[in-house]
Each structure stands twice: as C-alpha cells, then as structure tokens.
Amino acid sequence: MVKLTGIYKGMRKGYGETLIELGKKYENVVVLDADLSGSTQTAMFAKEFPERFFNAGVAEQNMIGMAAGLATTGKIVFASSFSMFASGRAWEIIRNLVAYPKLNVKVVATHAGITVGEDGASHQMCEDIAIMRVIPNMVVIAPTDYYHTKNVIRTIAEYKGPVYVRMPRRDTEIIYENEEEATFEIGKGKILNDGDDLTIIATGEEVPEALRAAIILKENGISAEIVEMATIKPIDEKIIEKSKDFIVTVEDHSIIGGLGGAVAEVIASKGLNKKLLRIGINDVFGRSGKADELLKYYGLDGESIAKKIIEIY
C-alpha cells in the first residue's frame, strides 16, 4: 500500500542514479544534455561514462537532432533539459526527427510545472504534456516519486521508441515503501486507494497531493478512490471507464490538453456518463514564488484540492 511518508526526495536524483545503472547494463546507452546536466542530474552519468555523454551546450534543438542521429546508429538515447526547452524549444525537431521515424530517443525533462518556483512564468512549463501528447508515436509519462522514477526510467530503456518523461524540480514526497512497490507499466493506471464516492486521477507530483486530499475528504465523509495515471499517453481507458461517476483530475499542468484533457476525451469518445472536474493550471501564466506557496496559490495542494471537491460534490 502507498502512504504519505513525509520523506522528500528528487525524482531527478532517481533519474540520474538509474542512468548510471543503465550505462553499466547497456553499452549503447548514451546521454545528452543542454548545459543543465547539474540540474537534470545527467552529470552523474557524464562523470561515470564521459565518452557516452554529449553536452549540446545551450542548443536544445541541436541536442534533439544529435539524439536522433545517434539513435539511427543503434543507441538508446536519453536527452535532457528543463521541460520548457526540451519540449517547447525543440518541439518540431522532436516531431519530425524523433517521433515521425519512431527513433529510440527518450526526452527526459525536469523542472516541469508551476513548482519550478522562483524562476517564474518563463520557466514554468505547464503545457508540455499537451504538446507532446498530440505527436503521433509519442509516449508521455510523469512518474510519481523517487522510487517510481527509477522503474519508469528502467522500463522506457527497454521500450523501443520515442518517450517523453516530465519531472518536477523540487524534491517530492515519497509514497512507495521501496522500489519493488513502485511498479510501473507503460499505459497502465493504478488504483492506489479504494474509495466509493468519487475517483481522483492524479499524475506526477500531484499524486501525493491527491492522497492528502483523500484524507481530508474522508474526514468530511467523502470516500475517494485514488488513481495514479503515470502514463498520460497512451492513457489507460479501462481504468477511466471503471472509475466512479464523479472524476477529478489533478495535475501540475494546464487543464487544457494535459491529463484532464486526456480524461475528458475518453469520457466524451466513449460516451461515459461521468461528471468531470479538472484541477490544474487554469489557462494562465504562472508567477515567481516558493513551490509550496505556488501550489497553494494555484489550488494544487492537498487542502485546496479537497476544498474544491467538497464545494462541488
């Protein structure tokens, strides 16, 4: 079972550590970065395998172009930067050079979402799930915590094809007891907590917040089922179909085009008779502040989520 542990650890740390493990396991793993290797944690791999690490400098477009070229020579390629630049700046290259030819490139982006914090709106990428999700052949994943990230990275290394992974900057709360508990399968959602009245579907760093919200809801007599939706594309349609009749999506991303958008599409296209509340960034640009302050300001902390649900329920 999962629980809020009060222990915070960076998903990107999990990423960096797993890259080293993969580097040892596979000779053909190569890693690229765009001058942010200290932040994305790819520097760990660079130190261990300098001959297989390529810094593109502040040039995300060429980083992805090089990644594509390397993939054509049979490499498993990880390319990292902040989500704003990895997905935004390099979008068209990802579309045309990576996704179109289905090359084995994993774009692993950190510093996603509003919780980037102090750097402000220019760096707060709340649109990456949307713009990556519309690209054919692309898999889009947001891991849940440090342990979960490790399994996500291991899994995508085995998967042949383009993948986009988004992770936050801040250390996030660990909800799994250990790596073994933090299972991951591409395209499969996971029920973390059973509940009778409604289903909260959360992704990424919002999963612990959803768990926090569920505790408050319980105190208020509302029993919430919690679904971890780590893969936003391909989305687990079955788990949405089986959800309660009131679904709440929670994400540190725009309510347009992200998890909420994806769930809305399933509800509409399957003709499901379900009510949907999308909690996320409401089509606005962010602002500077501390991550915790911003979560509250934009209504993405557990308390705010619970409050909003109680209002509507």
Partner 1 sequence: MVNKVNKDEIEKLKKIAKRVRYKIVKMVGLAKSGHPGGSLSATDIIVALYFKIMNYDPKNPYKKDRDRFVLSKGHAAPALYAVLSELGIIEEEELWKLRRLEGKLQGHPSMDTPGVEICTGSLGQGFSASVGMALGCRLDKLNNYIYVLLGDGECQEGIVWEAAMAASHYKLDNLIAFVDRNKLQIDGNTEDVMSLGDLKAKFEAFGWDVFEIDGHNFEEIINTVEKAKSLKNGKPKMIIAYTVKGKGVSFMEHNVGFHGKAPNEEQLKKALEELSE
Residues that bind partner 1 (CB under 8 A): 30, 51-52, 54, 56-57, 59, 61-62, 64-75, 92-93, 96-97, 100-101
Residue 260 CB, shortest distance to partner 1, in Å, is 31
Kind and range of the H or E run holding 291: helix 291-297
Residue 35 CB, shortest distance to partner 1, in Å, is 12
Please state, in angstroms and rounded to a whole number, the distance separating the CA atoms of residues 205 and 145: 7
Give 75 or 274: the residue with its C-beta nearer to partner 1. 75
Look at residues 139, 153, 129 and name the one whose alpha carbon lies nearest to residue 98.
Answer: 139
Cβ neighbours of residue 8 closer than 8 Å, sequence gap 6 or more: 170, 171, 172, 173, 174
Question: 90: which DSSP letter?
Answer: T
Is 60 among the residues known to form the active site?
A: yes
Residue 75 CB, shortest distance to partner 1, in Å, is 6
Give 34 or 182: the residue with its C-beta nearer to partner 1. 34
Please state, in angstroms and rounded to a whole number, the distance separating the CA atoms of residues 137 and 193: 31
Residue 28 CB, shortest distance to partner 1, in Å, is 9
Residue 46 CB, shortest distance to partner 1, in Å, is 14
Give 38 or 101: the residue with its C-beta nearer to partner 1. 101
Structure tokens at 143: 């891991």
Give 5 or 96: the residue with its C-beta nearer to partner 1. 96
Give 101 or 120: the residue with its C-beta nearer to partner 1. 101
Determine which one of 60, 173, 206, 237 is catalytic. Answer: 60
Structure tokens at 21: 């493990």
Q: Which residue is associated with the tokens 């209002």? A: 311
SS3 (DSSP) at 170: coil
Report whether 135 contacts 95 (CB < 8 A).
yes
- Provide the sign of the torsion angle of the four alpha carbons 65, 69, 72, 77, taken in this order: negative
Active-site positions read: 60
